[in-house]
Amino acid sequence: MQTNANHTSLVAIGDSFTEGMSDLLPDGSYRGWADVLAGRMAARTPGFRYANLAVRGKLIGQIVAEQVDVAAAMQPDVITLVGGLNDTLRPKCDMGRVRGLLEEAVERLAPSCKQLVLMRSPARQGPVLERFRPRMEELFACVDDLAARHGALVVDLYGAPSLADPRLWDFDRLHLTAEGHRRVAEAVWQTLGYEAEDTEWHTPMPATLPPGWAARRIVDVRFARQHLLPWIVRRLTGRSSGDGLPAKRAELLPYEGPAA
């Protein structure tokens, strides 16, 4: 791995994970790992440019149709692609189609940038996700294979013990907190060859006493009402949380933003 990495541009594509939910800023917008990474890279490279085409709720087919060609045309130094996890969480999922679309995306992106970065997405522990874990691991095996064939880097967040900690996940249980996003940014930063700023990003946080049974049940009920039921309704009606939303940062422009 390089220790003197220097990149002049970054394009991030994907879904809510790359958009930055739930790393909420005071103005109501989302920051997220890609913004943090871009801020660090910009601090090292004057004129550094950044685009983030991610939109929450997007399936891999939508990412391929709406984001891949746009990112490829920008021809940046680095492209990050994280997609397919929303597909695996659907009640019905054609994994063969998901793998084919992911391969199509990689084949179109890899020649258009100096370095393509793929990820094995993080996943917290819990009974709901256990149902979908075989699909997720099939997706990640595809990511590893495509990276080996196309010279892409893989950031293994799925195997990071720290990111399985529920304290690094927002109340909706689907998106990382600000600290979780910071750790992801550090992981990508190091994978790209930059000198580590946090060598312990993958180390679990110190243990704390878990909440009592009654407190957990109250949280479970609130979660079901505010997040789980609306999510189920969207699945049944074919709607997405990202319907009608534009790309987070649609143009590849000089970036000044958070560096940590």
The structure tokens listed for 5 are 């990495």
Supply the pTM of this predicted model. Answer: 0.86
List where CATH 3.40.50.1110 sits in the chain: 9-208
The structure tokens listed for 250 are 């649609």
How many angstroms separate the CA atoms of 147 and 142, rounded?
Answer: 9
CB distance 22 to 30 below 8 Å: yes
What is the arithmetic mean of pLDDT over 226-253? 70
- pLDDT tens-digit profile of 126-148? 655 778 889 999 999 999 999 99
Band of pLDDT at residue 175, cut at 50, 70 and 90: confident
CB distance 82 to 17 below 8 Å: yes
The structure tokens listed for 222 are 């609130």
pLDDT of 228 over the 70 cut: no
E strand spans, 157-221: none
E strand spans, 36-123: 49-52, 78-82, 115-120
Maximum C-alpha span of the chain: 54
pLDDT of 258 over the 80 cut: no
- pLDDT tens-digit profile of 179-205? 999 999 999 999 999 999 999 999 887
Residue 217 has a pLDDT of: 61
Residue 89 has a pLDDT of: 86
Residue 206 has a pLDDT of: 74
Rg of the chain's alpha carbons, rounded to an integer?
A: 18
How many angstroms separate the CA atoms of 13 and 116, rounded?
Answer: 11
Topology of domain 9-208, per CATH? Rossmann fold (3.40.50)
